[in-house]
Every structure is written in structure tokens, then in C-alpha cells.
Structure 1
Amino acid sequence: MLCPTLWPKQPGTRLRPIPDPGEEETMTATRGDATSLFATPKTVAEHRADGSIVLRSPEPLRDSARCIGDWLEHFARQAPDKIFLAERDSADTPWATVTYAGALRRVRAAASWILAQGLSAERPVVILSDNSIDHALLALAAQHVGVPSAAISPAYSLMSRDFDKLKSMIALLEPGAIYVSSTKPFAAALAAIKPLHSAQIISGNAGDADALAFRAIAATPETPDVTTAFAAVTPDTIAKFLFTSGSTGTPKAVINTQRMLTSSQQAKAQTWTFLEQSGGDLVILDWLPWSHTFGANHNFNLVLRNGGSLYIDGGKPAPGLFATSLANLKSVMPTVYFNVPRGFDMLIAALRGDEELRRRFFSEVKFAFYAGAALPQNLWDALEQLSMETVGRALPMVSAWGSTETSPLATDCHFLAERSGNIGVPIPGTELKLVTSGDKLEVRVRGPNVTPGYWKAPELTKQAFDDEGFYLIGDAVKLADSARPERGLFFDGRVAEDFKLNSGTWVSVGTLRVAGIAALAPLAQDIVVSGHGGDEVRFLVFPNVAACRAHAGLPETAGVNEVLGHEKVRVAIAQGLARLKQQGANSSGHATRALLLAEPPSVDGGEITDKGYINQRAVLTRRADAVARLNDDVSGAWVGL
């Protein structure tokens, strides 16, 4: 289908970069073809006597909605027949859609059932399944009447063997209702958690005899209690619980209030100024899971707040699933495209080999947004080049930064960055405190978008904030230009991941990981940096097996060990290590050895989230034997300089 453009095209107009001092804010850039996309970034820096720096936007945060339900009610009145959500089972089936009016009708009906069950923050709605229309409507129904929802990553139910993390989450939340798309694939998980709750099981499959069909719940006659309960929702009402990814430890239930969600989207509207003029033309095709803040609070709420249309992508950047995403991209041409670096990596490979996909993808998309991890520069350059070749302009690439605890927006790169990695400036209403930590600047966050704490974990909550109420996010940043903070910040890794060599030199794991992936491209999918207390840095490499197989010229039937052991692959890895060293880095800025890992990262082992974020510490701990082989001077397993 053809989608409307995000804003009216105007000949000769361009996307604005950051103006130099004294220049007019209406100056133009060399990329993009639209005007008034973003607000000009402005940042005030307060230098304190203790050496810390507080950054904030001089633009005050305007009033935000009372709750996200107000958005749904508004667009059900103003654009009742507009498509809100769409999904399909496969590339061969038509899109099933629900309008704003239809969504509100089913939300209020399901909310009547929720109230009748006596659900509350102490007995919330838990959702174990992937994104779907039913998933969205059930979550919105709960939140509409002040009952939190909690979407839990399906990986904990479908990929886990011991269900330990799922059990801990259910025990913590004590849900009153649990939703699955169908009971059959979740049977083992449901059996494992059965002793831990007394919840009603709800299924999206009306044929499941062992569960209550969501279809029946969404057909419940609406009661007057819904209007009363909706009116009682306040900005401080808990909207949802989102679990941390576990990338830094055991998953914690982060309290997300209505204020957090609505203030975050208000700040987004003030930085992405086109939303106020043409947000209703927003068309997004998105796979990012609603069990994480990027997909749920940023993308889903962006559509809902602005009256856009969200097409739920049943694919994802994973083997065997990305073909679905590509077929969907040919069907629905998004006006803004969101993904994580792994997704862009796979998309670029597909775009290079499919002219029709290139033409359709670049025809409507006005800019691309990456988050979840730093985007390697080679991917940034490749996407710009492909867009230049296809439509004659370089596709603008923007990003943002935050966490589950900041719902998620804390900074926004609403300007043309010169290279990948710029996470932008503080959004209106949010303050960043930069504190010296070793040779880095640790960043802390305060604002209405920040969580009040973790559910039933007062000690963890206390430890998460400093004495001024700034959230201790654990990340480090660098100023792009210390004299001009409006030029943005660069992510500088996680403070806890960095380590020292025995020379006393600090290794910036986050920075080196991105540089290493770029140097070993396209053979490295991800990298874990080792060398704690040693003489030199070494890499554990999760390979892009498909790229390695192609580089070696091996058939699809070739096994992983055969592929990774092929001489052409080993030579290419060695050449990549040499390239990294030639960039002029000292001992802390390059690796001398690399070990290719045949086993992919483990969900049960806490090595990876379903967004593809690698937990460095968990990998090093779980794969101590691999680290030992990497450090064994006589081992033939590793590749060296």
C-alpha cells in the first residue's frame, strides 16, 4: 500500500544542522529535503564548584497529557476511522486492522472485565507473548482504568530451559491475569509458573479450551465503572511495569507512571517539531518488542500520542525471520524507520541485493532512527550511500539515549550529526549531571521521565539515586564540543564494563567494541572485550556466520565449525585486527587476538536480550573456558596479529 508522506514536500528546503554562533537558525544542510523537522538544539551548561556539570535544555517542558488513555479517547473522536494498528500472519495474507474508534470500543469493553476481576497494581495484567493487536488492546485496557500491565519478553517463556527468570518475575508481580497468544507454545512456561499465581489465563486463540478467549473479554458489555475508573487515573498512577533487560544483573521491575510516559512524548513533540503539524501522517512498521522501553514507550506511544498508524512487523532481525520484515517493508513503506544496529546490518545487505526493496524503502522514509546500541560507522556510511544512489539524497540518521528507568528518552539527537554515536542533547524537562569517574564522565539523569523506583525493592531504589535525586544510569559520555554543549554527547560506554590493563591504562569497552565490529565487518556480529589485568586487549567474537560462509565461498550446508575454521575467514579476521591497530590506537585501543565463538549468545545465561544487547560481563563469566583458550599462547584456536 502507498502511505502518505510525513509532511508536505517543499522544493529547495533542507534539514537543519546546528547553526554556528551568530548564524540564523533557518540555515540549511546538505542532507534531507524537508523543513521544520526538528527544533534547533539548545543546551545550557552549569559548571559546579565540585567539578560536575549539569546540562539542561533552556526550553521548558510544556504540559503533557494526564494519561495515555487521553490520547486514545481524543483520536477515537477526532479520527475515528483512522487505522491505529495493523498486523498480518504472513506476507501472503492481508493486513488486519483496527481503527482508533474500534480500539477504544474494545479497550473500554476489556476494561470492564478487568475491573470486575478486581485487578490492581498488586494484581496486574501480565503479557507473555509478542506484539499483536490483542496484546496492545489488553495493555491499553488495563492502563485505561489504572491497572498496570507488564509485558515480559517471550524469550523467557519460549527460549528458556529452566524458566528461572520468568518464575522470579511472576513471583514478584503476583498477576491477576496472564495473556498468551496461544496456550500450546507456552504450555511448558505456564506449567512452570502455575504454583506461583492464581491468575486467569487469557488466550488470543479462541480455540484454546484451557484459557479464556481475549475475544470474549473484548466483547464484555461496558459498565459505568470504566468511566469512573478512567477519571480517577492521575499522572502518578502506575501505567506499567517493565523489566530491565538483565544486561546488568537480575531483571528488576521498573515502575512506569503515566507522567513518565506522557512527559517523554511531550518532550519528543518539542524536539521533533514536525509532529505537531503532521504527526497524524506518521506511518511506522516496527518489530521492536513491547517488553522493552524502545518499542513500547518510544515507538508505540509515539504513534498513539500523534494519531499515526503502527503496522506490527511479525519479523525481526534474526535468522529465518528477517524475510518477513523485508516482505512487510515492500507492503508498508514507513515514513520513519526504527531499528537496532543488528537490524540495520541485515537491512543494508538486503537493500544491496534488491532494487525493488531499495526503491520502495527510500521512497517515503524521511529519516532513520537507531538506538539500543551504538551503530558502527560502516553501517551509517552504507545506508547513506544506498540512499544517495537510490533517491539522490543521504538519508538522515538520528538517535537518542536513555533506559527503561527514563521511559526511555533522556537525550535526543534532533540534528545532523557528523558521524555515528552522537546521542544528542537533554530533552526539555530533563537534566543530566556529568561527574568525573576515573578518566570518564559518568552521566546521571533527573526529570519527570525518570522512574520513582523498582517495584517491591526499596533498597535497590535507594541505591539507584544520588543525594540530589539523579538516577545513576551507569553510562559514561563525552561532550562533542566542550565549548558548545548543543553539539551533543557521545556515548562512552558503561562505567562498570571498563577495565585497566596491568600498565594502568583504561580500556573503554563500549568504544572499542564498536571500533572492533567496524574493523572486522562484515564478519563480526558482535564483540566481547577481554583483557582485565592483562598486558593486552583480546576479543571474543560472535560471528556473522552467513557473512563468514559467503566470504569463504562455502555452501549453505557447511557447518559452523567448518565455516569459522576456514583459512579465508581466519585471514580476514587477522586483517581486520591489523586495520584496527593501524588506526593509531595504543594498547588499549586495539586487540591482538580474536576467538570466533561457534555457540551463539545464550538467553538463559543472561548473555543477550531479545533486542540483541550483549552483556559483556555475563559472556566473560559464562565462557571462562573460551577466555582461557584465547589467553593460551600455544592454542591454535585464536587468530592473532
Structure 2
Amino acid sequence: MTDDTRYRAHKVRREDRADGSILLHSGYEISPIAKTTGDWLHGWAETAPDRVFIAERSGPGWRELSYAEVLQQVRAIGAALVGRGMGPDTPILVMSGNGVDHGLLALAAQYVGIPLVPVAEQYALIPGAHGRLKHAVELVKPGMVYADDATRYADALALPEIAALDRLVSANAGPGMLRFEELLKDDSGVEIDTVHAGIGPGTVAKYLLTSGSTSNPKAVITTHGMMCANQAQLLDALPFLGAQPPRIVDWLPWNHVFGGSHNFNMMLANGGSLYIDDGKPTPALIGRTLENMSMKAGTIWFNVPLGFGMVTEAMKTDEALRRAVFSELDMIFYAGASLPQDVWTAMEDMAREVRGALPLMTSSWGLTETAPATMLQHEPTDRSGIVGVPLTGVTTKLIPDADMRCEVRVKGPNIMPGYFEDAAKTAEAFDEEGFFITGDAMVFVDPDDMSKGMKFDGRISEDFKLQTGTWVRAAGLRMEALKLLDGIASDLVITGADRKEIGLLIFPNLGALKKAAFETDTAENALIGPKLRGEIKRRLVARAGETTGSAALITRALVLAEPPSMGDGEMTAKGNLNFRKVLTRRAELLERLYDDADPAVITIKEG
């Protein structure tokens, strides 16, 4: 429980059913829900017309647009799109990343009922990934495609599937392309108020592509009602959002539901300000992120664990950056994986130093199909990895096994109606009671106290059986193996389905290995130097000595020379591995892994 009025105390109702399943509900009622995203925009344009809504870097400063300016431009763009014949059956495919024009186009499309389809910019920028871009075009059949810079996206814009569409660009428009500024002239003659009046909760706002980690991406139908309900649910749990306008400096990509629906709409729904961070948690771009965060203090900090780690490391020796980051911070929100405890502790120490108090440090759980937030840890906690309790209006159905590991299914106003033009997959996605089958597993933090929340425990589909019939919980084991091989593995795949032993296919962290002076030989796939080979074996042997049972014992490993290929589907746009694709594409290497005579295989056996 918490007496901090910034965050609402957990309150959970539990219902045990005769079939062994458990239903969890929030103990609070859901607040009123906006009809459309346009309601938020109109409301704040009237209440706080001069407040900055969206901004991006421009030279040494920022290009900032107020709520009033955004509404005026959204209406002009929306009218121009309708005037060009765009509508519900002519989606707009967005190839480029976050930017003010992208945001304006998204809101304008929603304002007049044109579905937006943002895809990962890697699909357009990496020639080997153009197949994913073509798949998206074939799937949603857009009537228009947008890119912020025709020069940067020239190869993708020239693809026959793209060149046949209306091509809208903000900069460096070539022949036959439509310049973004042309949409702002507001000379279409369209009665924009009449068009907007026809938009409602059931109107499609977006088709969001799933990550494709287990199959080809599907297009999730995302309605205004889903997104608006999700923001009401978040405000119910986090009252501080309504107490003062939030502000974020955020890089998380809008083709993903977390950045594009959760974060973007949180600012819009609560009259906040979104400063677009054009940096990223990579060695080449983290400097830009640090510069942006130094210039603008956020009240909420969203990031992935890697990003938090990189910024935290920089803050250790930069007092000005520490003060800029923590001076007004209400919440630190991590996603994608658990936040390492050392990073968690370091940020707590810095927050106490700067403010004398801690922000809420938290995470949530959800999927593209759930808009996304469905469970949230909205009480303070002292540890990472907890995803909390159901949000208002959500019913969570848990199907426990003998060890109280629960399969999770959900129902609520933030759940998708289905996948675009895929009745079969839609039918498979829901059970006989209408609950969405998430495929995720969770465990209770405290089985005797539901209010303590739940912890994510992997994907059901990633689990497999050994030849002995023993189940292996691959997701949890993978996280343990990554921690064990810190400084060696950038990622890895757990193997062993229908085999006698568990193994690892390791993608090496070449940068870290070089720093550690390990010798690697990439001339032949999977051959490595003796020093690295010995270190991997030493760690596996040490772990084996502390492991009981075949379900967690890793006996062998193979280091891969070729990095995962996005073009071949081994890596998703979010940077996650498609485990099935890796195992299929590298079937020969999988067989080598289980050949004790192969000199590249590292085993825990003697010799």
C-alpha cells in the first residue's frame, strides 16, 4: 500500500473458478473515456492553446508546436487528405521514424478516419529488409506512403510496390512526389467538421504490425476506443498525470505500440509535451540523447534497460546531467526486459541526491493487441521485474499449472477487435469466453497477497520438452544465460527441443569481446579463439555445479560468426530474435551443436 497521492494504491478482486482458473479485476471503476483522440486535441487547444504539445530538434534548439497550432494543422492536413480521395479503405503507410510531421500526419489521419500504418524504418533503410516492407504493403494495401526525407529513403521509394502509390515526403521531394507542405494549404473545400463528426470509438486509428517473432507480422486493428480507454486506465492508476502536465524527452519508435500509442497518447490525453529525442541507446547516438536530456527536463522517463544503463553511466560523472534528468522526475518506466538491479540502485541514489525523494520506478505489461497497458505496478516497489495488477476495466484470466505458473488471458475495452483481414488468426486469438489468449506466462510475487502483483515469466510458446519429457522454461533460462555470459553474448537462443540436453547458440558481443582482448575468428562460422572458448566453458561448468535437474542444466554451446539477419527474418524491428527463424535458417549449426566430435562445440564435459 502507499499513502503517496501521486500513485493509486493497488486494489485487486480475485475470483476462483470451478475449472481452476482465476479471474483478477481492479478494485476500482474505470473513469469516463474520451470518444476519439480528436477530443483530447480539441480540449487542450481550448484549455491550453499556447502550451507546447510536440517538438523536435532544429539546429541548436527545438521546433515546437503548440496545441492550437497542432489542431489547426491537423484539420488542414485532414481536409487535404480527404480531398485527395483518402478514407478508411486507403491506409497511409509511414516508413520513416519519429518526427513532428509524422505526428501531425498521424493525428490528421485519425481526425478524418484514415488508418495509419507505421512500420519500422529499418524495413525501408536496410535493403535486405525490403521484403518486410513489401509484406506490409501487400497486407494493408495502402493508398499513400510517407517518408520524411526522399533522399534518405530513395531506395524504398523507388520500389515498384511503393512507386505505384501516392508518395508524400517532407524534404527533397522528387518528380511525382507530394510535398508535405502542400497539405497545409487548406484549400480542399472539404467540410472538415462534418467528416470529423463521423469518427467514433469504433473507427480504426491504426494498423500496427506485430513483431513477427514467431510468424509473419499480423496487422492489429487499433481503434480510437482502444487507445482512449487505455489512457483512462493509466490515469486511474497514476493520478499525477492529471495533477500537472507531463513532459517527456522520448526516442521510443512510433511503429511500436509502446512509443506510438502509450507514450504519444499519454502526452496528448493529459495536456503534456512530447519532445522527440533523435538519439538512441547505441554507441553512435547516445551522445545526442544525453544532449537532448540536458536541454529539456522530463517529468517521466521512458526507456529500455540498455538505455537506462547508458544514461546512468554518463550521469555518474556529469552532475549537470543528473540534475537535468531528476529535477522534475515523477516516474521512471522501463520496458522490454527487467531493469538490472545495479542500474535501479544507482538511479535511486541519484534521485535522492538531486530531489531528496524517489520517483515511481515501475513497469507494466501488455501487447500490441492490448493497446498496450493491461497490468501496471502503480505502487512503489524496491525491485525490478514486477508488472503489477490489472488496470481498471480489465479482467485477467489466469490458468495456473501445478507450480502456479499462470497462462494469461485478458478481456477489456483496450483489447483489439481482431487482425486486419485475417479471420482465422482472429478466431485463434480468443477463447470461448472472448478472452484474448496472450501466450504469456506469469507468477505471483506473493501467492497469498494478490495486491503485490505479478512477474512476467516468459512465453508459453517458447517452452519445450526434452526427450525425457521434462519441460524447459526457455524464456527464464535465456535471461539467466544472458546474465551468465555478460560481456560475451549480445543475444542467444536456447535449444534442446526433443533432444537429451539443453544447448546455446550464442551471438557474440564483438565490441565487448574486443575490449576484453578475446581473440575471435570469423573466417569460418562458429570457430572461436581458445581464450574465449575456455571462458565460456568455465562459466557453464561453474553454473552446472550449482544446478539441479535437467530442465535448467546447460551442457553445450556454439558461438556464431554471422549476426542475426533482419532481411531473413531472424530479427524483428524491435531488435528481438525470431527464435524459430534462427533455428530453421541455421539448422546445420543446430545439428553441429549436438555433435560432440565437432571442434567448435563447447561442452561442460571433461577434455
CA distance in 1, matches of 2:168, 2:183: 9
Query: Does residue 305 in structure 1 map to residue 269 in structure 2?
Result: yes
Letter in 2 for 1:65: A
Conserved? CA contact 1:239–1:257, under 8 Å: yes
5 Å-filtered alignment, 1:284-323, equals 284-323=248-287
Q: Shift of residue 264 of structure 1?
A: 0.2
* Change in 2 beyond 3 A, CA 1:62/1:324: same
Q: Which amino acid aligns with 2:478?
A: R
Tell whether 2:45 aligns with 1:45: no
**SS of alignment partner, residue 452 of structure 1:** coil
Counterpart of 1:171 in structure 2 is 138
The residue aligned with 2:449 is: 484
- Looking at structure 1, the residues matched to 107 and 133 of structure 2 have their Cα atoms a distance apart, in angstroms, of 23
Is this contact kept in 1: 2:507–2:563, CA < 8 A?
yes
Instruction: Decide whether the 8 Å contact of 1:376 with 1:514 is kept in 2.
Output: no
Cα offset for 1:375?
A: 3.8
Counterparts of 1:561 and 1:348, CA distance in 2: 37
* Paired residues of 1:182 and 1:203 also in contact (CA < 8 A): yes
Q: Which residue of 1 aligns with 2:536?
A: 573
Change (3 A) 1:564 1:266: farther
Computed over aligned residues only, the root mean square deviation of the Cα atoms, in angstroms, reads: 2.7
**Partner-residue secondary structure (3-state), 1:267:** helix
Question: Matched residues in 2 for 1:474 and 1:249: separation?
Answer: 14
Equivalent residue, structure 2, for 1:621: 584
In structure 2, the partner of 1:634 is 597
Please say if residues 83 and 189 of structure 2, whose CA atoms lie closer than 8 Å, have aligned partners that are also in contact. Answer: no
The answer to whether the 8 A contact 1:512-1:590 is kept is no
For residue 356 of structure 1, report the CA deviation from its aligned partner.
4.5
Q: Secondary structure at the match of 2:551?
A: coil
- Secondary structure in 2 matching 1:314: coil
The secondary structure found in structure 1 opposite 2:281 is coil
2:260 aligned counterpart, secondary structure: helix
Listed as ranges, the matches of 1:322-471 within 5 Å are 322-352=286-316, 354-377=318-341, 379-381=343-345, 383-384=347-348, 396-436=360-400, 440-471=405-436
Asked if the contact 1:236–1:258 (Cα under 8 Å) also holds between the matched residues in 2, the reply is: yes
Q: Who is 2:85 aligned against?
A: 118
Deviations 1:125-148 (A, max 9, x none): 221111110001011101001221
Q: TM-score, normalised by structure 2?
A: 0.92
- Would the alpha carbon gap of residues 226 and 564 (structure 1) be closer, same or farther in structure 2, given more than 3 Å must change? farther
Who is 2:184 aligned against? 218
8 A contact 2:11–2:27 mirrored in 1:
yes
Aligned equivalents of 1:330, 1:561: Cα separation in 2: 43
The match for 2:69 among 102, 111, 131 is 102
| Shift in CA distance, 437/567, structure 1 to aligned 2, threshold 3 Å | same
Counterpart position of 2:56: 87
CA distance in 1, matches of 2:350, 2:411: 39
**Unpaired stretches in structure 1, ≥5 consecutive residues:** 1-18, 20-24, 27-34
Alignment of 1:221-236 (within 5 A): 221=187, 223=189, 225-236=191-202
Aligned residues: 602
Contact kept? 2:128, 2:566, Cα under 8 Å:
no
One of 499, 504, 514 as aligned partner of 1:549: 514
Matched, 1:69 2:50: no
Deviations 1:449-494 (A, max 9, x none): 0000111111211111111110111111111122211111111111
Task: Give 3-state SS (helix, strand or coil) of 1:504's partner.
Answer: coil
Cα 1:386–1:551, aligned 2, differ >3 Å: closer, same or farther?
A: farther
Alignment-mate amino acid for residue 83 of structure 1: V
Letter in 2 for 1:459: A
* 2:56/2:100 contact within 8 Å kept: yes
Residues 259, 449 of structure 1: 8 Å contact kept: yes
Q: Does 1:521 align with 2:490?
A: no
Please say if residues 366 and 396 of structure 1, whose CA atoms lie closer than 8 Å, have aligned partners that are also in contact: yes
Structure 2 residues not aligned, in runs of 5+: none
Amino acid at match of 2:444: L
How do 1:140-289 and structure 2 match up within 5 A?
Answer: 140-161=107-128, 163-194=130-161, 198-205=164-171, 207-221=173-187, 223=189, 225-278=191-244, 280=245, 282-289=246-253
Identify which range, 492-501 or 525-534, moves more after superposition. Answer: 525-534
Q: Secondary structure at the match of 1:88?
A: strand
Cα shift at 1:611: 2.4
- 1:311: Cα distance to partner? 1.1
Q: Which deviates more from structure 2 when the two are superposed, residues 473-482 or residues 184-193? A: 184-193
Identity %: 41
Residues 356 and 312 of structure 1: CA distance in aligned 2, closer, same or farther (over 3 Å): same
CA distance in 2, matches of 1:175, 1:371: 31
Q: Is the 8 A contact 1:564 1:570 kept in 2?
A: no
SS in 1 for 2:65: strand
CA shift, 1:257, in A, is 0.7
Kindly indicate whether the alpha-carbon contact (under 8 Å) linking 1:236 and 1:259 is maintained by their aligned counterparts in 2.
yes
Deviations 1:316-337 (A, max 9, x none): 2234233322222222232211
